[in-house]
A and B are shown apart, each in its own frame.
Chain A
Amino acid sequence: MPAPRPLQFILDGELVSIPEPTATLTVLQYLRDVAGRCGTKEGCAEGDCGACTVVLGEAAPGGAIHYSAINSCIRFLPTLDGRELVTVESLAGPDDTPHPVQQAMVDQHASQCGFCTPGFVMSLFGLYLNRSDPDRAQLLEALSGNLCRCTGYRPILDAGLAMGSYAEPARWSREDAQSAARRARLEPLVSAPALVTGDGCYFAPKNIEQLAARYAAAPDSLLLAGGTDIGLWVTQGLRELPPLIWLGEVRELRRIRADEQGLWIGAGVTITEAWPALLQHWPEFAEQADRFASRPIRNSATLCGNLANGSPIGDSLPALLALDAVLELRCGEQERALPLSRFYIDYRKNALARGEFVTGVRIPHRHADDQVASYKVARRHDQDISAVATTFRVRVMDGVVTEARLAYGGMAATAKRATVAEHQLTGRPWTLASIALAQAALPADFQPLTDMRASGEYRLRIAAALLERFWREMNGEAVRLPAAPVAAMEQES
């Protein structure tokens, strides 16, 4: 490991250097309790309400700075290393002129109690820096992680629609956000050696060799990717964590590659970055992508983290199970590939060996005869954990199902395929009658639990109902609720 050095990041144009950061101190705790910046609020300390939203700027390849809104309440402070932190206090102009995002919120009467407001301002600000003229769907996507209990949201949406029409501010215009001065402040930080804290409790390897060597040497360390679950172990579970190894700086793991074997997504790629790549090949996932957690969670969380975490209610799991995805694993110098369908052993237990980690996930090419749909059923459209999530893929040739993948989350201790039902469908004509046979087989595949989200009985009923929805949708029927604008997922500029 490199020698310990201070954590360094930029805040309001100044270098902040913290010699001995606590590995699990959250950005929110730092802001409120250490820096005395109380504009950023704690509403839930679990990444579900957005009152703590801040924006992070990161030097991206090619000279741009990439800005994204994240939940500061579950983000550990050392992960700010080499980045620019932007909080609600940062936005006003040199003469205290409010930023257009702030002025639009005032002009539209978009705050009542005001407690959620800094979070909304920062989510809108993240959107403002990335889009000059957002539409309603993009606004909803950007605000999917922010709860307001007072306004009914209408004036906040109106503020978002209006913010682009204000004069460019002196500070934090889109141009200023990409200025050479900002880039120049970040660059020396980015080129610093990998961060190791003095207590050894945090290490952010910069390349895969550093990672592999360290994890092999210290296999009791905890691998941290987006931290959107691990953060809660600390803020909710009050757990003491083993030394952390952060994947967010490992350059090889932040890549997305398409080649003859399919699509490869590295273990450091965020959900926000991963979906557009997937949607290029599987546009059927558009609604699933839009409904996956929330924008600030997607900006922190990684696709492979969702897979490796292995929660039975992780929404990407059924999708990648249905696509026959393969995990690529590494342990020290040893590498192997493992089909995702063989990765999950039991509740939160997986096939990783001690010291082994996921480097990426490979998703095979699409077959021309594949029909795919992905559904999520939850109490709320946005930012909700699924009662049931599914992805179905059937290959239909000459009216006959030649291959069926019926993958479910929320139905068992792990995400899993309904192999009995798949078997029922395979080789049969692609008809509602065959669907009925698959539906009848589901109780042999699943005996779901009852909890606060749904009863087991309801889960089983909709697991079957979604098969019917799948068939009807593939046959051209309108089966989705109208008027839920879904943002087109594309890479933001």
Chain B
Amino acid sequence: MSVGQALPHDSALLHVTGRAQYTDDIPLPPGTLHAAFGVSPVAHGMLQALDLAPVLASPGVVAVATSADIPGENNYGGAVHDDPVFAERELCYTGQPVFAVAARTHEQARRAVRAARMQIDEQPAILDIRTALAQEAFVLPTQRAQRGEPHAAIAGAPRRLSGSLTIGGQDHFYLEGQVAAAVPQDDGGLHVYSSTQHPSECQAIVAHVLGVPANHIVVSCRRMGGGFGGKESQPALIAAAAAVLARRTGRPVKLRLDRDADMIITGKRHDFIADYETGFDETGRILGLAVMLASRCGYSADLSGPINDRAMFHIDNAYFIEHLAIVSHRCRTHTVSNTAFRGFGGPQGMMVIEAIIDEIARALGKDPLEVRQRNYYGGSGRDVTHYGQRITDNPIGTITSRLVASSDYHARRAAVARGNAAGGTIRRGIALTPVKFGISFTSTQYNQAGALLQIYTDGSVLLNHGGTEMGQGLHVKVTQVVAAELGLPLSAIRITATDTSKVPNTSATAASAGTDLNGMAAKAAAATLRERLVGFAADFYSVAPEQITIADGLVTIDTKQMPFSQLAREAYTARIPLSATGYYRTPDIHWDKHSWSGRPFYYFAWGAAVSEVALDTLTGESRLLRLDILHDVGSSLNPAIDIGQVEGGFLQGMGWLTSEKLWWDAQGRLRTHAPSTYKIPTARDWPAEAHVALLAAAPNPEATIHRSKAVGEPPLMLAISVFQALRDAVASCGTPGARVELEAPATPEALLDALRRIRSAT
């Protein structure tokens, strides 16, 4: 059976030979034009005049398009219609698209946009969260959630502390930048090749922008060169601009953002600040907590609503907090509109509670792990989240104890303390942090999926489903599911590009739910075909259906055996339909946003990590020395793919919390817009010693696809252990109980600042 095997990625051989085709590699007809955006040079201003004559006169230029050239609605915002494709009068961030140009070559287009003349009345700009808070500049209404009597509980607690945390944003840095090619069809239709996690939304938005029905637009995507959430809502902008130019010129138009343009124009992970106050007892148990979260949403709403909601949902991480109040502000700034990024607000929420737990432990002189365990969900009356969802499956105690043993945590913690006590400029730190991450779109409607499965008369199978492949191994997993259901070898099944003309009205491949949703939909389609074939064979050969098995491509009918291809041919001849759709909706979930309660998540994915770091107290440079991870993926569909998600997610999270600093200058210009200035981890940052394991014998109690669990996002948050280990190392330079004030990302400069603060407080 193909399910559960460590099979290679379906495109592995294509990847390594360079044959895998990405959107920019697709051959396009002669005459294809290449587009580039002309963008706002200011963070905030009113466009008084726009002179594009010099652009049109530039070599190779064929056409330009502004907001005036949009036949339909000038918007690519999916949820709230506040994202213009091309800015009209108000310019809202440096880099905002104002117009686009189509030229014969990519370089000509890039050169030409620089010739535009813009007359701008510059306006004051809000460039950071604190300023937005002070001016009450929000893109969406503030949300509040409360359970119990937190303020009274804090006031009455034996111990209290309050503080603030700054958490930086993150660029996706998918290696393949945003790209779309719009190819006009002969009947007024448009085929859009897009590197997108959300073909259906891309289709809907292109249709709206062009003012045509959705059935005129086909969006397809065979694969992305990475997505990470950055290709959920953002590709609609690229596709829409290409579509407008294609409509205008009647020629195919490709719009590929170069790296700098991509990083300047497209949204990122939200940076957050948190102000908190907590009351706790001498054992470290949290008695009450009040948290203010504020995030930089940028100039528009985009997905900021559900992202900030998810931060609120994950402020508890793995901890029961009986009395809790959360205020969540969604701040408007004159910077790029921030968007989905692996974890979707969850990581920022978890960062806050993990910092608080660490502070409590230091105030009490305890091992932070002890305080973590003291607050874990579990036990009578301690199993309901602050949004009313009961936690019925809770392996965190098991995970923690196994990881403590396998990582030799206690002995290593003692060794770290001994080494630090001996002094020297290099200090060490160690931390274990847990992860509990809710799986499902919190907007219940998105928890549905479809698939289309076709068997040809030679027995070969073509699989299509609504999920997109961005490297996460979705396609091989779904193929494994279908192979198992049909009793065929994996090689009999071919998966094709995600295509809105095959499976309509799909959800984004996001929220870690790609396999859960599409795997189930594909399984349903396969089950339908299998039942049809078995039913046909039972009739045809006059046997009971139970006497028919299909395995490894071989059909056994009582004592007779035949290849699957023969059954397919016979079924076709008997006029049995050989294609089927499959559909799935996640059961049992519900959410009432007014009472802020329900069961938004079908289940939780869990894990924990131990990180040990070294810190150079002279310069603030640090290094991860050893990593131990134990992560829960239920019954893995493909352990090789899952380990890849765990390791890759972890290192991406570590980059977010250590080296990946976004830096805007005083004029609101992003100055870290290329890999020369924005530093994601390299191979050397993977620790020399790493032990990464999947939690064994832990099938999902919920009836998910083969009892597996989602794995896309949760491992990213294992990297919080690195940040906490760095806090531990900083703490070694202060007196016991001294506070660690470290912002994320913990760059060398941030760490040296934290060291200075703890030393001066000592």
A48 near B616 with CB under 8 A, answer: no
> Looking at the complex, which of A246-254, A417-425, A482-490 is the stretch in contact with chain B?
A482-490
In the complex, whether B134 has a CB less than 8 A from a CB of chain A is no
Q: How near does chain A come to B635, taking the closest CB pair, in angstroms?
A: 19
Question: Given the known A-B contacts A41-B225, A112-B473, A150-B226, are A106 and B619 also in contact in the complex, defined by CB atoms under 8 Å?
Answer: no
Which among B105, B426, B671 has the greatest number of chain A C-beta atoms within 10 A? B426
In the complex, whether A131 has a CB less than 8 A from a CB of chain B is no
Q: Which residue of chain B is the closest to A121 with respect to CB atoms?
A: B16
In the complex, whether B564 has a CB less than 8 A from a CB of chain A is no
Interface residue ranges of A72-121 to B (CB < 8 Å): 87-89, 91-92, 98, 101-103, 105-107, 109, 111-118, 121
Which residues of chain A come closer than 8 Å to B105, judged between CB atoms?
33
In the complex, whether A63 has a CB less than 8 A from a CB of chain B is no
Tell me how many residue pairs across A and B have CB atoms closer than 8 Å.
269
Q: How near does chain B come to A201, taking the closest CB pair, in angstroms?
A: 16
In the complex, whether A453 has a CB less than 8 A from a CB of chain B is yes
Which residues of chain A come closer than 8 Å to B175, judged between CB atoms?
41, 43, 49, 51, 113, 115-116, 147-149
Main secondary structure of the interface of B (DSSP, over half): loop
A113 near B682 with CB under 8 A, answer: no
Listed by A's residue number, 25 A-B pairs whose Cβ atoms lie within 8 Å are A39-B19, A40-B18, A41-B176, A43-B675, A105-B15, A109-B640, A109-B644, A111-B11, A112-B473, A112-B648, A113-B174, A113-B226, A114-B225, A115-B176, A121-B16, A144-B683, A146-B682, A148-B683, A153-B681, A157-B683, A380-B659, A381-B682, A452-B677, A458-B748, A483-B688
Interface residue ranges of A459-493 to B (CB < 8 Å): 461-462, 465-466, 468-469, 472, 477-485
A113 near B619 with CB under 8 A, answer: no
Question: Given the known A-B contacts A43-B175, A109-B641, are A469 and B426 also in contact in the complex, defined by CB atoms under 8 Å?
Answer: no
Q: Which residue of chain A is the closest to B175 with respect to CB atoms?
A: A115
Which among A37, A144, A150, A482 has the greatest number of chain B C-beta atoms within 10 A? A150
Partner of B9, one of A33, A111, A154: A111
Which residues of A are interface residues toward B (Cβ below 8 A)?
33, 36-46, 48-49, 51, 87-89, 91-92, 98, 101-103, 105-107, 109, 111-118, 121, 136, 139-140, 143-144, 146-157, 236, 238, 377-385, 387, 451-455, 458, 461-462, 465-466, 468-469, 472, 477-485
A451 near B683 with CB under 8 A, answer: no
A381 near B685 with CB under 8 A, answer: yes
B426 near A481 with CB under 8 A, answer: yes
Which residues of chain B come closer than 8 Å to A117, judged between CB atoms?
15-16, 20
Which residues of chain A come closer than 8 Å to B704, judged between CB atoms?
none
Interface residue ranges of B158-212 to A (CB < 8 Å): 172-177
Which residues of chain A come closer than 8 Å to B227, judged between CB atoms?
113
Which among A39, A143, A144, A149 has the greatest number of chain B C-beta atoms within 10 A? A149
A116 to B224, alpha carbons, bound, how many Å? 12
Question: Given the known A-B contacts A48-B675, A483-B688, are A143 and B22 also in contact in the complex, defined by CB atoms under 8 Å?
Answer: no
Which residues of chain A come closer than 8 Å to B24, judged between CB atoms?
38, 42
In the complex, whether B424 has a CB less than 8 A from a CB of chain A is yes
Question: Given the known A-B contacts A112-B644, A149-B652, A379-B661, are A144 and B684 also in contact in the complex, defined by CB atoms under 8 Å?
Answer: yes
Q: Which residue of chain A is the closest to B651 with respect to CB atoms?
A: A152
Which residues of chain A come closer than 8 Å to B671, judged between CB atoms?
451-452
What 0/1 readout, one digit per residue, does chain B (675-701) give for beta carbons within 8 Å of chain A? 111011111111110101000000000
Q: Which residue of chain B is the closest to A91 with respect to CB atoms?
A: B17
Question: Given the known A-B contacts A38-B25, A136-B688, A381-B682, are A114 and B623 also in contact in the complex, defined by CB atoms under 8 Å?
Answer: no
**Extra inter-chain contacts (10) besides given A43-B176, A149-B173, CB under 8 Å:** A46-B259, A118-B15, A149-B175, A153-B682, A238-B107, A381-B685, A462-B752, A465-B618, A481-B621, A483-B623
Q: How near does chain A come to B760, taking the closest CB pair, in angstroms?
A: 13
In the complex, whether B413 has a CB less than 8 A from a CB of chain A is no
B425 near A477 with CB under 8 A, answer: yes
In the complex, whether B647 has a CB less than 8 A from a CB of chain A is yes
A455 to B686, alpha carbons, bound, how many Å? 27
For the complex of A and B, 4 pairs with smallest distance between CB atoms? A39-B18, A113-B471, A115-B225, A114-B15
A114 near B471 with CB under 8 A, answer: yes
B11 near A114 with CB under 8 A, answer: yes
Which residues of chain A come closer than 8 Å to B17, judged between CB atoms?
39, 88-89, 91-92, 98, 102
In the complex, whether B732 has a CB less than 8 A from a CB of chain A is no
Which residues of chain B come closer than 8 Å to A103, judged between CB atoms?
16
In the complex, whether B292 has a CB less than 8 A from a CB of chain A is no
In the complex, whether B508 has a CB less than 8 A from a CB of chain A is no
B618 near A479 with CB under 8 A, answer: yes
Q: Which residue of chain B is the closest to A36 with respect to CB atoms?
A: B27
Which residues of chain B come closer than 8 Å to A156, judged between CB atoms?
683
Which among B9, B18, B680 has the greatest number of chain A C-beta atoms within 10 A? B18
Which residues of chain B come closer than 8 Å to A452, judged between CB atoms?
661, 663, 665, 671-672, 677
What 0/1 readout, one digit per residue, does chain B (32-67) give for beta carbons within 8 Å of chain A? 000000000000000000000000000000000000
Which residues of chain B come closer than 8 Å to A38, judged between CB atoms?
18, 21, 24-25
A113 near B223 with CB under 8 A, answer: yes
Q: Which residue of chain A is the closest to B260 with respect to CB atoms?
A: A236
In the complex, whether B407 has a CB less than 8 A from a CB of chain A is no
In the complex, whether B114 has a CB less than 8 A from a CB of chain A is yes
Which residues of chain A come closer than 8 Å to B665, judged between CB atoms?
452
A238 near B644 with CB under 8 A, answer: no
Which residues of chain A come closer than 8 Å to B19, judged between CB atoms?
39, 89
Partner of A157, one of B224, B681, B686: B686
Partner of B623, one of A379, A453, A481: A481
Which among A113, A140, A150, A477 has the greatest number of chain B C-beta atoms within 10 A? A113
Partner of A461, one of B21, B224, B686, B752: B752
Q: How near does chain B come to A7, taking the closest CB pair, in angstroms?
A: 20
Partner of A46, one of B641, B674, B692: B674
B648 near A151 with CB under 8 A, answer: yes
In the complex, whether B415 has a CB less than 8 A from a CB of chain A is no
Q: Which residue of chain A is the closest to B715 with respect to CB atoms?
A: A152
Partner of A111, one of B16, B107, B258, B649: B16
A380 near B176 with CB under 8 A, answer: no
Which residues of chain B come closer than 8 Å to A114, judged between CB atoms?
9, 11-12, 14-15, 20, 223, 225, 471
B644 near A143 with CB under 8 A, answer: no
A458 to B9, alpha carbons, bound, how many Å? 45
A385 near B16 with CB under 8 A, answer: no
Q: How near does chain A come to B712, taking the closest CB pair, in angstroms?
A: 11
A288 to B412, alpha carbons, bound, how many Å? 31
B258 near A45 with CB under 8 A, answer: yes
Question: Given the known A-B contacts A149-B228, A377-B621, are A112 and B675 also in contact in the complex, defined by CB atoms under 8 Å?
Answer: no
B176 near A48 with CB under 8 A, answer: no
A480 to B473, alpha carbons, bound, how many Å? 39
B748 near A154 with CB under 8 A, answer: no
Which residues of chain B come closer than 8 Å to A33, judged between CB atoms?
105
A479 to B614, alpha carbons, bound, how many Å? 11
Question: Given the known A-B contacts A89-B17, A114-B14, are A481 and B622 also in contact in the complex, defined by CB atoms under 8 Å?
Answer: yes
Which residues of chain A come closer than 8 Å to B270, judged between CB atoms?
none
Which residues of chain B come closer than 8 Å to A153, judged between CB atoms?
651, 681-683, 685-686
Which residues of chain B come closer than 8 Å to A113, judged between CB atoms?
174-176, 223-227, 470-471
B16 near A469 with CB under 8 A, answer: no
A144 near B426 with CB under 8 A, answer: no
A364 to B442, alpha carbons, bound, how many Å? 68
Which residues of chain B come closer than 8 Å to A46, judged between CB atoms?
259, 674-676
A102 to B18, alpha carbons, bound, how many Å? 10
Interface residue ranges of B614-650 to A (CB < 8 Å): 614, 616, 618-623, 625, 640-641, 643-644, 647-650
Which residues of chain B come closer than 8 Å to A88, judged between CB atoms?
16-18
A288 to B606, alpha carbons, bound, how many Å? 41
In the complex, whether B111 has a CB less than 8 A from a CB of chain A is yes
In the complex, whether B472 has a CB less than 8 A from a CB of chain A is yes
A461 to B620, alpha carbons, bound, how many Å? 11
Q: How near does chain A come to B416, taking the closest CB pair, in angstroms?
A: 13
A143 to B683, alpha carbons, bound, how many Å? 7
B690 near A154 with CB under 8 A, answer: yes
Q: How near does chain B come to A384, taking the closest CB pair, in angstroms?
A: 6
